Amino acid sequence: MAAGSKPAVAFVGVGRMGANMALRLRDVGYTIAAVYDTFAENAAKVARETGAAEAPTLSAVTAAADVVLTVVSDDRAMQDIFAATGDSLLTGASGKVFINCATVTPNVHVEVERRAHDAGAHAIEACMASSIAQAREGTLYLMIGGERATFDRVEALLRAMSASLRYIGPAGTAAQVKALVNMVMNINTAGLAEGLGLGEALGLDLTMLRDVFSQTGADSRVLETDGEDMQKRDHEVYFSAAHAAKDSHIALSLARDAGLSLPVAGATARQFDRLIELGIGDSLDKSGVAELAFRSRRASERSP
Amino acid sequence: MAAGSKPAVAFVGVGRMGANMALRLRDVGYTIAAVYDTFAENAAKVARETGAAEAPTLSAVTAAADVVLTVVSDDRAMQDIFAATGDSLLTGASGKVFINCATVTPNVHVEVERRAHDAGAHAIEACMASSIAQAREGTLYLMIGGERATFDRVEALLRAMSASLRYIGPAGTAAQVKALVNMVMNINTAGLAEGLGLGEALGLDLTMLRDVFSQTGADSRVLETDGEDMQKRDHEVYFSAAHAAKDSHIALSLARDAGLSLPVAGATARQFDRLIELGIGDSLDKSGVAELAFRSRRASERSP
C-alpha cells in the first residue's frame, strides 16, 4: 500500500465485534473490500452495510485487501484460517498485513506470526479490552503484540479504531496481558456475584449494598459495568459467560505451564464452566455468573 | 448527657485504629475520660497522649464515661467485654451508650444489644470500612446498625469521626454489610495477586500490567491500594492477612447459615488461612497474599 493512502481492508469474522469495527472503519474513510464469516448471514449483513464483497473463500479475502482484520472465536478458528494447506488466508499473502483481534492462547499468535512470515506476510495481534459500543465508536482499548515495524505500518488504522493504543512487545505478549486482564476481571465478577447473592440471602437492599461497595474496598470496574445487571438479572450478552470461561482457562493454562497454582482463578473458571454445563454459557453475559450465587434463582438450585 | 454538650468518651481497645480514633475525638474537643486495653502498653501510650485515665477494669471504663467506644479484635473479645458476670462494661451501665466498632459476626451485635438493653444501656454497631489514616483524620466510612434513636443520640460524635456516615438498619445489619464488603475486597485482593503473580512468571513488566489493569475491566479499588505494594513486597500491616481471613470466614459462615455455596470466597479464605498457617498472618498486610502467587517468593514455595 502507498504511504499516506488508506489501505483496502477486509474482515474475517463479522460477529458483533467485527461488524462494528468494520462499520467504524468505513465511517472514517476506509474501503471495506471484503468480508468473510462462517455464518453467511453475518457476512451478508455487513457486506450490505459497508459495500464490501462477500468473499467466497479465505484466499479471496487476502486477494481483495492490503490489511486483513480477523475477529474469530478461539484457538481452533485461528489455526483454521491460517492453515498451512487448503483454503487459507496465507494463500497469495505476500506483502499483506494480518491484524488478529481474537483472545486466544498467546502461543497461537507466535505460531501465526511465524506462518505469516513464511508466506511473505506480516501478522500482529491487536487484543481488545473493551466491548461492542467501543468497537462502533472507534474507542477500543487496543494492546498490540508483534514486530514493531508491522505495528508502525498499520498504526493509523489502529488509531482509527481505538481511544487507547499500546504496543506491548513481541508476538504473544499482548495476548498474555489480555488473558490476565480477563482472568482478573472474571474473578472480580464472580466475587461480586457472590457478594450480591449473599446480600440477597440476608435480605439486604442490593441497591444500598452496591452503593456501599462502590465507596469502599469492594469497588471495582465490574461493579460499575455488571453490578446492576446482576441485581436485575439483565444478562444480555456483551461478553458471554462462555467467553469468560475460555479466557480464564487460557490464563490457567499459562499458569500451569509456569508451574503456578492459582486457586481463586481456578474457582472462578469452574463457576463459568458450570454456566456452560447448564447450557446457558452462550446465552448469558458474564454477569450471568450471578445466577449461580442468588439463592432465589434457578441456576443456583442446581449447584452442588 | 445534656443535649448539645459533648459527652465524656472512653475507649476499650486502643490498638492502631482505636488510638487514632481517640486522638481525633480529643482534637475536636471531646474529653477522653478513660482508656482500656489488654495490652497495658497501648493503654498507657494513649492515656499519655489524650490525658485519659488508664481504667483498671471494664466497669471503671463505664463509670468514667457517657459513651464507650469499643474497638476489639474478634467475637470472643466482644463477648468478654460485655460478659454477663465478672468484670464487664455492663456493670453500672444504665443510661450509657456503647458504640461497637469491631468487625465481628453480626449476631454478636444482636446479642450485645440485647444484653445492653437488659442493663438499661444502649448499644449500636459502627462498622468501619477504612483504615488508620482515616481514623486519625476523622474521615472514616461508618455504617451504623442498631436502634435509630441510639444512632440519633450519638450522631454528632459519629460525624466527628467520619467523612461518610450511613445508618443501615437494625442490629447486625451494618455488620452484615461490612462482612460482605470485606469478603468482596478479599476476593479482589487475592485475584489481583494471582494476576500479578502470573504476570511476573510470564516475564511481563508489572508496572505496565498494573497500568493496563487500571484502564480495563480488571480495575478495582484494591489495585489502587495494594497493587504497587504487591509488586514491591511492601506488606506493612494496615489490615492484616489474619483479619482478612477472619472477615472472609464471617461472610462464609453467614452463607452457610443461608444455605449458599460461595466457591470463590471459599478459595480466597483458604489463601488467607494459608498465610496464618505459615505464621505470617499477623505480620503481613492483606497485600501479603501476593507472597503465595509469585513464583519467586518464599511463601509460594510452600504452596501445595
- Residue A271: give its domain's CATH number: 1.10.1040.10
Return d(Cα B265, Cα B249) in angstroms, integer. Answer: 9
What single-letter amino acid sits at A278? L
Q: With respect to residue A193, please indicate whether it lies within any of the assigned structural domains.
A: yes
Q: What is the pLDDT of residues A53-104, one digit of tens each?
A: 999 999 999 999 999 999 998 999 999 999 999 999 999 999 999 999 999 9
B32 and B128, same domain (yes or no): yes
The backbone torsions φ and ψ at residue A88, rounded to the nearest 5 degrees and listed phi first, read -155, 150
Q: Tell me the nearest-neighbour CA distance from B236 into chain A, angstroms.
A: 17
Q: How many Cβ atoms are within 10 Å of B195's Cβ, its own excluded?
A: 33
- Is the pLDDT score of A170 beyond 90? yes
DSSP-assigned letters across all residues of B138-156:
T-EEEEEES-HHHHHHHHH
The per-residue pLDDT for B104 is 93
Co-location of B183 and B163 in the same domain: no
Please identify, among A121, A150, A170, the residue that sits at the C-terminal boundary of a domain.
A170
The grid cell for A45 is 449483513
Minimum-distance CB partner of B267 among A197, A217, A264? A264
Domain boundary among B115, B137, B170: B170
Question: B120 vs chain A: nearest CA distance in angstroms?
Answer: 29
* List of chain B residues whose C-beta atoms are within 8 Å of the C-beta of residue A295: 258-260
Q: Determine the distance from the C-alpha atom of residue B126 to the mean position of all C-alpha atoms in its chain, rounded to a whole number.
A: 10
CA distance B80 to chain A (A): 27
Domain termination residue (choose one: B170, B189, B215): B170
Q: Which of B143, B200, B202 best probes binding to A when mutated, by most A CB atoms within 10 angstroms?
A: B202
Same domain, B198 and B275: yes
B134/B189 same-domain check = no
Provide the grid cell at A65: 485487501
Q: What is the pTM of this model?
A: 0.93
Instruction: Please indicate whether, in this complex, the C-beta atoms of A129 and B216 are within 8 angstroms of each other.
Output: yes
Q: Which residues lie below 8 Å from residue A109, measured CB to CB, with a gap of 6+? A: A100, A123, A125, A145, A146, A171, A172, A174, A175
Q: Nearest residue of B to residue A262 by CA position?
A: B194
Does A208 map to a domain? Answer: yes
Residue A226 placed within a domain: yes
Give, in order, the Cα–Cα distances in Å from A269 to each of A95, A191, B57, B271: 40, 12, 52, 17
Residue among A217, A254, A266 minimizing CB distance to B129: A217
Phi first, then psi, for residue A94 (nearest 5°) are -55, 125
Number of domains forming the structure of chain A: 2
Yes or no: say if B304 and B209 are a contact pair by the CB < 8 Å rule: no
Residues A147 and A21 in one domain: yes
Contact B87, B55 (CB under 8 A): no
Find the residue in A nearest to B304 (Cα). A261
Looking at the structure, tell me whether residues A156 and A184 fall in a common domain.
no
| Set of cell numbers at residue A272 | 463459568
Query: Measured between CB atoms, which of B220, B258, B270 is closest to A198?
Result: B258
Among A90, A10, A110, smallest CA distance to A50 is for A10
Given A141, A190, A192, which is nearest B216 (Cβ)?
A141
Distance CA A247, CA B253 (A): 31
Q: Which residues of B touch A263 (CB under 8 A)?
A: 267, 270-271
- Is A190's pLDDT higher than 70? yes
Provide, as residue numbers in chain B, all residues whose Cβ is less than 8 Å from the Cβ of A180: 195, 198-199, 204, 209, 213, 218
Same domain, A190 and A160: no
The verdict on A207 and A139 lying in the same domain is no
Kind plus residue range of the DSSP H or E element containing A59: helix A58-64
Q: If you count residue pairs, one on A and one on B, with CB atoms under 8 Å apart, how many are there?
A: 213
* Alpha helices in chain B, H assignment, sequence order: 16-27, 40-50, 58-64, 75-81, 106-118, 132-137, 148-161, 173-201, 206-214, 221-232, 241-257, 263-277, 298-301
Assigned domain for A3 exists: no
- What are A154's three cell numbers? 498499520
- B139 shares its domain with B215: no
Question: Is A4 domain-assigned?
Answer: no
Mutate to test the interface with A, among B166, B212, B291 (most CBs of A within 10 A): B212
d(CA B60, CA A205): 40
- pLDDT tens digits for chain B (304 residues)? 544 689 999 999 999 999 999 999 999 999 999 999 999 999 999 999 999 999 999 999 999 999 999 999 899 999 999 999 999 999 999 999 999 999 999 999 999 999 999 999 999 999 998 889 999 999 999 999 999 999 999 999 999 999 999 999 999 999 999 999 999 999 999 999 999 999 999 999 999 999 999 999 999 999 999 999 999 999 999 899 999 999 999 999 999 999 999 999 999 999 999 999 999 999 999 999 999 999 988 666 554 4
Does one domain contain both A30 and A158?
yes
Q: Which CATH number covers residue B162?
A: 3.40.50.720
B2 located within any domain: no
Q: Nearest CA to CA, how far is A148 from chain B (Å)? A: 17
Question: Same domain for A157 and A198?
Answer: no
pLDDT score of A301 more than 70: no
Same domain, A161 and A218: no
Q: Which one of A166, A176, A182 has the shortest CB-CB distance to B204?
A: A176
The answer as to whether A229 is a domain residue is yes
Range of the domain at B135: 9-170
